[in-house]
Amino acid sequence: MKITILHGAFFPVPALRGGAIGKAWHGLGQVFASKGHQVTHVSRKCDGLAEEERNGNVQHLRVAGFNSVNNPYLLKLKEFFYVLRAKKVLPQADILVTHAFWAPLLLPKLKFGRIYVHVGRYPKGQLKYYRNAGCFQVPTKAIRAAVKKEIPKSRQMISVLPYPLNWKVDFETDYLKRDLKIFYLGRVHPEKGVAELIEAFNNIPINIRRDWKLSIRGPWRTEQGGGGKKFINQLKKMTSERNASIELLDPVFSESKLKDELRSARIFAYPSLAERGETFGLSVLEAMSCGCVPIVSALQCFKDLVENNKNGYVFNHKSTHPDDSLISVLSKAMQFEANNITLSNEARIKSKKFEAEEVSQNYLDDFEKLLSEKHF
């Protein structure tokens, strides 16, 4: 098959600036190519990346994109012009995968391949207009429910396939040899519950958290999807006002460095509050694969990954006192190390099912099914 993957306007591919969606589809593209398929990525040109390059069965075509902004209307306007530029370089293909907002509206139904829409964000009413799409692929059952709500009478395919894990699961590291560290990795943004995590850690009794450290790493700049300078300054103030071992670290996009950091932590906390923002939780999956015990909020999208007290912990972010719920779960995780050994192993077993080699065939099966449809 000839497969084109049209990425969004704001992050380069490879993921030199992060971005879970670009990272996932870049990895899938490599696996597709290793199985003999012709793969073309169309993405943002920046950071010294070549306008065109080829490596075996993988080709990269890049066009000018934009830095992200907070204004959602300006964001959509920028991506509109990006898709128009991308349209000029798109090759003919069998399948066109895209998560760019305007692509299913601006691109013909068949000219560049049958359109396979990756719903990487919570839908906001746009899907009913995507009549040129042949399939909506969602990463979790929760997002499938949201898609069905928007297009209840549609005959288009809706496929639930997870993001891939782009490395092999680590079963070797000894849990009790890890640092007494709680680690957050992701966008440093108010909707991610980062401020609540810091506050909860500070309010855990000192006799419990005495030897523990909380590390927060991720992009905070607006153009990288973070909460901006005002928010990072708020977090810095929170960490300096209390006598706690909390560190705010700059983002790192090197896969090997991230894996090393995940392997050194005992607990991975991802207390997201984004009811209509989270669709999967790739960083949670990556942490689980490295043996971290995950702590997540009770968002529906995390249910496909984390089962409370089986392979991690879940706190109730919708309770009357969600801060108390988070404090309670953190305290439990920091004290019951024997239980965490079991949870760590179960987390790795769960994540094994998401390795790219295993899930990639399900995507290829989707493509074949889409190509076999006479009417879609």
Amino acid at 373: E
pTM recorded for the entire structure? 0.89
Q: Bridge-partner residues for 98, per DSSP?
A: 6, 117
Q: In whole angstroms, give the CA distance from residue 17 to residue 101.
A: 20
CATH class of 175-352: alpha beta
C-alpha 15/C-alpha 252 separation (Å) is 11
Give the domain 2-164+355-372 fold.
Answer: Rossmann fold (3.40.50)
Q: What are the residues facing 184 on neighbouring strands?
A: 216
Give the start-to-end residue ranges of the domains of the chain. Answer: 2-164+355-372, 175-352
| Alpha helices for 64-222 (secondary structure H) | 72-87, 103-106, 141-150, 194-202, 206-209
Nearest to 235 by CA among 190, 187, 205, 183: 190
Tokens 């689980």: give the residue.
Answer: 288
Decide if 2-164+355-372 and 175-352 have a common fold.
Answer: yes
How far is CA 376 from each of CA 2, 116, 157, 158, rounded to the nearest angstrom? 19, 11, 8, 12
- 119 close to 138: Cβ distance less than 8 angstroms: yes
Rounded to an integer, what is the distance from CA 219 to the centroid of its chain? 14
Per-residue pLDDT tens listing for the chain (376 residues): 999 999 999 999 999 888 889 999 999 999 999 999 999 999 999 999 999 999 899 999 999 999 988 898 999 999 999 999 999 999 999 999 999 999 999 999 889 999 999 998 889 899 999 999 999 999 999 899 999 999 988 878 999 999 999 999 988 888 999 999 999 999 999 999 999 999 999 999 999 998 999 999 999 998 888 999 999 999 999 887 666 699 999 998 888 999 999 999 999 999 999 888 788 999 999 999 999 999 999 998 899 999 999 999 999 998 888 899 999 999 999 999 899 999 999 999 999 999 999 899 999 999 999 999 865 4
